[in-house]
Amino acid sequence: MNSETELPNLVDPEQPNSCFLQKFKLYETRSKFYMIGRDKSRTFWRVLKIDRLDPSELNILEDPATYSDDECYDLLKRIHEGNKSMGGLKFITICYGIVGFVKFLGPYYMLIITKRRKIGVICGHTIYAISKSEMIPVPNPAVRSKLANSKNENRYKKLLCTVDLTKDFFFSYSYSVMSSLQKNLCDNKTGPILYEKMFVWNEFLTRGIRNSLKNTLWTVALVYGFFKQVNLSVSGRDFKLTLIARRSRHFAGTRYLKRGVNEKGRVANDVETEQIVIEDAAEGSPVQISSIVQNRGSIPLFWSQETSRLNIKPDIILSRKDHNYEATRLHFENLVQRYGDPIIILNLIKKCEKKPRETILRAEFANAITYINKSLTDASRLRFLHWDLHKHARGKATNVLTDLGRVATFALGLTGIFYCQVTPNLGPEGLLKGSFFEKNDDSGKCLQHSCSRKYEDDDSLETEISNGSDDASRNYNVRSPMFQKGVLRTNCIDCLDRTNVAQYAYGLVGLGHQLHALGITESPDIDLDNPLAEDLMRVYEAMGDTLALQYGGSAAHNKIFSETRGQWKAATQSQEFFRTLQRFYSNAYMDAEKQDAINVFLGHYQPLQGKPALWELDSDQHYNVGRRNDNVRSFIKRSLSDGHMLSESDSPIASADVGHNQPLSEIAQGGSKGISESAPAISTCESEISYCRFTSPMPCKQLFSGMQEDQCLQSDNIFYDEHDYDCNFSNFLNSDWLSSSGNSCEEETCGRSFASVSSENLVNGPMVETSTSVSESGSTKKGKEQCESELSDDNGILEYSKSFMNWVDNGELLFL
């Protein structure tokens, strides 16, 4: 694509044909609510009628007519005149969208946004947060039943109100903020189907009005997580950095009440993080945009921890042993459907402990990945990397970030980034209906005009820009777009503190590549002492605190960030101690009620008259209490970790295009080419579209030239296989290849077998058996000398072992 290629003509979101209602006025009569909605430019008005005479049912009618300002005024005047005998038409409030409708034991309530605030802009589309909301009973007081003022009804109302909509919820009228930028540009899905996304938290609350009206003009889709946009500059070039964290509504909840995976493959604390860079361009010039997406989520096994008011670190229990790891497989199938492959797993939990806790999960997680990889092709295998962040954090914080940066560079080389150029006013017709990327009717694959070029070296990523006499006269050489394919999935135990550090390291490396792709910097590298690194760290630190408060009850432990900034050590220690106590108190005393509120908000629990109240049940998860069908018997179901309650749309990782039972290998071979939510995101034709893969500016063997392989295979890193599978240890690299110090395990006691330890922490599952031969363990000193002699060449440059190269090419597991 050269500079003469015509860019897509995308619709301005401010134009009237965008058909987005953004401001509403609510009126009432004795028999009806009237909601009057208009677009931002005041060109058309619509009317919604909500019946107030039925005490228990929701009846909504949308007037199909479109009104002008004068016509709307006349309509309201006639309504007032017609209802004068019963008090006429009364103005209630100005609002900015319907959050949804909810019913407990008595009437329906309408949740509306009464104040909003602007928090960012993406390609001309405004992103809002909620400043104030109200819950209004729908029936008029004369027809409400006695249950409307009952003790339990008021308690449910109070419980729902503990979900604070003014904190960490955000939305947009014209931009699908629940999806990534790449997804929005490559998918033409709009309307009600977007509310079924895993990141739309009011899907249940809006289900009734969406089913009735078959549109989403009156509602807003709320995303829960984190949104931050900052203006930054490099060498006089300005750009906007946007960081978005989207928390999944599936298996959502609090720290100790939601752990691991459920039977549908949904994991706790599942958060998608997107980092968007948009350059500030002169008016009328093409705008360059780029994004990278990464993921965090609980370890996808059946495990739990019991909340304790006496023990600040409860034991980790493998609650249920799934011999075929079906739930784990479903989880990774879903990741492939959403992001494509490869799936790179960065596991940050400890490899050595005096009292085994995390190591139990570490061993079982390795078993699960290896078992799943047996059925996959070499190309679609899961890449699994163990790296004990806690161990390495005992050194300098900058060393930890440098080491994680090397992992990030490698992962980014496998997945690539998303990059494209668009016209400045990226409107809904272009952004949401795929005018930038056309749909091929025959293949259904995402195509781009003249987009067959692939970037195979780092130099080709540079944007060619010839500078004119002023910014407005710049002649941009428009490049083919690049796409992210695959994702880095990071986890620790809580997926909060250590995970956030790793995600920052990935974001920093990604930012360097994004700025380089946009032509803002000459090199894709950003040093830790660069002011940009500090700016990005503050944004990621804010995200980490927000996500930790949501899931864990306190801000994140930011020891590494504090040390990197040179914060006084004593201040850091006191801060960490306070946050530990705050998290302990929240988990022990507040999380149960918080979990109940989440379950009511998401519709996982729906009250029924004559059935046990939510607070009468002895566990948060694990209940099905339904009222969807009169013939469906209400019941209470107890299970250890399935955590799925009644929810019509919560089908097991299903979509219209891809069945959840489809093997992971078939999904990988099927070529899911881009980021998706519950189905292959961007079906593409490889001959028509390019998928960028960043390659390091240095040869692969020199990429980690400062690393040393660990002494020898230590027993604490043995692969545990319950199926007596003949484990080929050449597929595992047990090394501190990211650490130049080459430290061995910090605790010698870790060398013992975990067979007896694991059996104590398994419920309904067999023991984990291990065996270690003398040749596998070896002596530390001898192993170190041998490794050094094998890894060094004549030039003193370290070579990769065969096991590491195997991991690069085929997946497998990598122990660090």
Is 335 within the bounds of a domain? Answer: yes
Q: What pLDDT score does 448 carry?
A: 32
pLDDT band at 666 (very low <50, low <70, confident <90, very high): low
> Which 3-state string (H, E, C) describes 719-760?
CCCCCCCCCCHHHEEECCCCCCCCCCCCCHHHHCCCHHHHHH
Rounded CA gap, 278 and 231, in Å?
A: 10
Per-residue CA distances from 65 to 25, 72, 308, 786 (Å) = 17, 10, 59, 81
Is a pLDDT exceeding 60 seen at residue 676?
no
Residues 698/768, Cβ–Cβ less than 8 Å: no
Is 425 within the bounds of a domain? Answer: yes
Rounded CA gap, 796 and 641, in Å?
A: 51
pLDDT band at 392 (very low <50, low <70, confident <90, very high): confident
- Which residue pairs, CB below 8 angstroms and at least 24 apart, start in 528-531? 528/398, 528/401, 528/402, 528/564
Is 202 within the bounds of a domain? Answer: no
Residue position matching structure tokens 């109940």: 596
pLDDT band at 803 (very low <50, low <70, confident <90, very high): low
Is 535 within the bounds of a domain? Answer: yes
Considering 10-24, 140-154, 332-346, the range whose residues carry the highest mean pLDDT is 332-346
pLDDT band at 807 (very low <50, low <70, confident <90, very high): low
pLDDT in tens, 746-765: 333 444 434 334 444 555 44
Q: What pLDDT score does 219 carry?
A: 96
Is 87 within the bounds of a domain? Answer: no
Which residues are CB-neighbours of 769 under 8 A, at least 6 positions away?
A: 720, 722, 755
Taking each helix axis from N to C end, the angle separating 497-517 and 397-415, rounded to the nearest 10 degrees, works out to 60
Is 245 within the bounds of a domain? Answer: yes
Rounded mean pLDDT, 530-557: 91
Rounded mean pLDDT, 31-53: 94
Q: Tell me the average pLDDT of the chain.
A: 74
CA 106 to chain centre: 35
Taking each continuous run of H as one helix and of E as one strand, the counts in the chain are: 19, 25
Is a pLDDT exceeding 50 seen at residue 245?
yes
Rounded mean pLDDT, 376-387: 92
Rounded mean pLDDT, 334-357: 92
For residue 276, the SS3 value is: strand
DSSP string across 584-646? HHIIIIIHHHHHHHHHHHHTSS---TTS--GGGSS-SSS-B---S-TTSPPB----SS-----
Higher-pLDDT residue of 98, 772: 98
pLDDT band at 227 (very low <50, low <70, confident <90, very high): very high
Higher-pLDDT residue of 22, 637: 22
Find the range with the poorest average confidence among 72-86, 163-177, 382-396, 481-495. Answer: 382-396
Is a pLDDT exceeding 80 seen at residue 767?
no
Is 419 within the bounds of a domain? Answer: yes
Is 443 within the bounds of a domain? Answer: no
Rounded CA gap, 62 and 34, in Å?
A: 10
Q: What pLDDT score does 433 carry?
A: 42
Taking each helix axis from N to C end, the angle separating 326-339 and 358-374, rounded to the nearest 10 degrees, works out to 70
b/e sequence 497-534, b meaning 16+ C-beta within 10 Å: bbbbbbbbbbbbbbbbbbbbbbbbbeebebeeeeebbe
pLDDT in tens, 212-222: 999 999 999 99
Residues facing residue 132 across a β-bridge: 115
Rounded CA gap, 581 and 557, in Å?
A: 12
Per-residue CA distances from 376 to 326, 522, 668 (Å) = 14, 39, 8
pLDDT in tens, 616-662: 886 554 343 333 333 333 332 333 333 333 433 443 333 333 333 44
Q: What is the DSSP letter of 111?
A: E
Higher-pLDDT residue of 298, 764: 298
pLDDT in tens, 714-726: 333 323 333 333 3
- Give the count of domains, the chain: 1
Per-residue CA distances from 800 to 357, 403, 696, 790 (Å) = 32, 16, 15, 10
pLDDT band at 439 (very low <50, low <70, confident <90, very high): very low
Taking each helix axis from N to C end, the angle separating 591-602 and 151-161, rounded to the nearest 10 degrees, works out to 90
540: containing domain: 237-433+478-579
Which residues are CB-neighbours of 345 under 8 A, at least 6 positions away?
A: 369, 382, 383, 384, 385, 489, 491
Which residues are CB-neighbours of 268 under 8 A, at least 6 positions away?
A: 251, 252, 253, 258, 259, 260, 261, 297, 298, 643
Separation of first and last alpha carbons in the chain: 43
Q: What pLDDT score does 323 carry?
A: 83
Q: What pLDDT score does 619 carry?
A: 59
Residues 381/371, Cβ–Cβ less than 8 Å: no
Q: Name the burial class of residue 241, with classes exposed (0-12), middle (13-18) and buried (19+) by CB atoms within 10 angstroms of its CB.
A: buried
Residues facing residue 51 across a β-bridge: 32
